[in-house]
Homo-oligomer: A and B are copies of this chain.
């Protein structure tokens, strides 16, 4: 390292999301002597820490020749302080990108190459463009089952790993694609009430309008440290935390950000993403819900079976018990789509309200029942009825509230203040509803970033509709997003089909 190549750090308060950016005068001595160009990837080192950042060159006077500006992500990763000295040097090309290129040209990933790639990704060495290439190289069905297992193992190894005293640590996951399918908080409450351990880590939305972590966050804090999470589980037998905040599979969160930007899901990365977090979280018994429907993420029984096989195979290779469960994926579950709206439905079920959405309750009972059986708390075939009892006697609700309190305090979810009711323009039978369209609409309304945004469904498939009857209500936190969603809606009326009844 050339000791002359230093500049004084300045926080410039620019939010570039996760990509670390360094702003440097193009005519400063460091840029000149090192030959940095715009978009060069450079190493920035202070006394204690070192990161890789992308150069944005500044060509005018708002930054001095002695300063380097850091974006918010760079500032945070480096743990920098105002005016601190930092040294700048070239980065070597990321060696593991050659394995990504190899994969593109037909060479399978091995345990070693997967490890090298994932380790470089979690160290922040990949630029967004390189991440996009890796995600794309693994997309569709491009990974075979041994590559998937290698990727999963690699993702576990770069993160923290939890250990628990119990020999049965229960977990569940739903392979998304079904708006409003927010069974997790209900299932966790029931399973924990039965005395089983269920330290649940969930992700934020990938391409959907809400992930479990997004929904849970409208009711209680989910950014728990590892220590905090352990305390909650010790006290209540369960938690519902955001997986990324405990670094269980840090590479996964980086990949998910890029998958979201591309609106791209990959079979192999789906399996690796799900199971790496389960293994890292110390889970031993995992139930995976796979909804199947023409507009769900999984559209055919055949694909569901392929996924189930991959999940079980990878589970075996990594030493955990994985079971799967296929469910109906033809329409949204519950009424709400979007973080706060889904939380409202979850609370209605837990509170045993008579107006709670029955389909959501039904799914939650099925899953909780299977877990009670897998965990040895219910005889085969009796799990579901036992799960229902925990709802009816209030024990599930009490446990859920106790978990929220332990995580930092319960709050009622707040719905967006800008609303618009969409009404039927004709009478007839509701024969089709496009899940992807409903999800897109909720996202245009601002979900999941705006937690109060989304849709509230008032009708179900097969229902007889009268002209002027409310179909669903749009919720947004800003006028602009509501207006934009309404524009979009005008062009896509056919995604919600009402047909004349044939008598």
Contacts and interface: CB of A to CB of B under 8 A. Distances in A.
Interface residues of A, number: 67
A484 interface: yes
A490 to B, nearest CB: 13
A15 B55 CA distance: 9
B104 A140 contact: yes
B136 A261 contact: no
Interface in A296-322: none
A260 to B, nearest CB: 10
Query: Chain A's interface: helix, strand, loop or mixed, by majority?
Result: mixed
B133 A58 contact: no
Contacts of A5: 480
Contacts of A137: 136
A85 B89 CA distance: 40
Interface in A11-47: 11-17, 23, 26, 32-35, 37-39
A54 B440 CA distance: 20
A123 interface: no
A127 interface: yes
A17 to B, nearest CB: 5
Contacts of A481: 34-35, 90
Given A26-B15, A137-B136, A35 B263 contact: no
Given A127-B261, A133-B135, A136-B133, A15 B59 contact: yes
B33 A479 contact: yes
Nearest to A73: B38
Interface of A: 2, 5, 11-17, 23, 26, 32-35, 37-39, 56-62, 71-72, 89-90, 92-93, 97, 101, 104-106, 127-133, 135-137, 139-140, 258, 261-264, 440, 444, 446, 449-450, 476-481, 483-484, 488
Instruction: Please provide the 6 A-B residue pairs with the shortest distance between their CB atoms, ordered closest to farther.
Output: A13-B60, A132-B132, A136-B136, A34-B480, A15-B57, A15-B38
